[in-house]
Amino acid sequence: AQSVTQLGSHVSVSEGALVLLRCNYSSSVPPYLFWYVQYPNQGLQLLLKYTTGATLVKGINGFEAEFKKSETSFHLTKPSAHMSDAAEYFCAVSAAAGNKLTFGGGTRVLVKP
């Protein structure tokens, strides 16, 4: 069984400030980890993924995430927030052997000018 916990259902950041979204997972097998973003009235888009190899993963739009096995975490960061980053972000985990995703509850990001 696998599960994902996202700390904070809402995050407010100022434009230009660091964005940090927290994700912790549990998985009985080595996990594949994902961050997706959802803009209003749209489906989810893949931001980045960790499968194997380098633990620091770079994604689109300046986002990156670091896989820390000892902490069972996969936090998402962006050094400088932009107004266009306002969206809802979902962390997800998948077992290595399959492709079923288990999602966290989501974190809605508000960017203040």
91 within 8 A of 3, measured Cβ to Cβ: no
- Joined together, the tokens standing for residue 1 give 């069984």
Among 68, 82, 100, 112, binds another protein (CB under 8 A): 100
Please tell me the distance from the alpha carbon of residue 90 to that of residue 76, in angstroms, as a whole number.
10
CA geometry: angle 25, 65, 98, nearest 5 deg: 50
- Select from 65, 84, 60, 83 the least CA-distant residue to 6: 65
Of the pair 42, 84, the CB lying nearest another protein is at 42
Q: Is 99 in the site for another protein (CB under 8 A)?
A: yes
Q: Which is nearer to another protein, 17 or 64 (CB)?
A: 64
Stretch that binds another protein, among 15-23, 60-68, 73-81, 100-108 (CB under 8 A): 100-108
Minimal CA–CA distance to 77: which of 67, 88, 66? 66
Q: Does 110 bind another protein (CB under 8 A)?
A: no
55 in contact with another protein (CB under 8 A): no
Of residues 65-94, those binding another protein (CB under 8 A): 90, 94
Q: Which chain residues interact with another protein by CB under 8 A?
A: 4, 6, 9, 32, 34, 36, 41-46, 49, 51-52, 90, 94, 96, 99-106
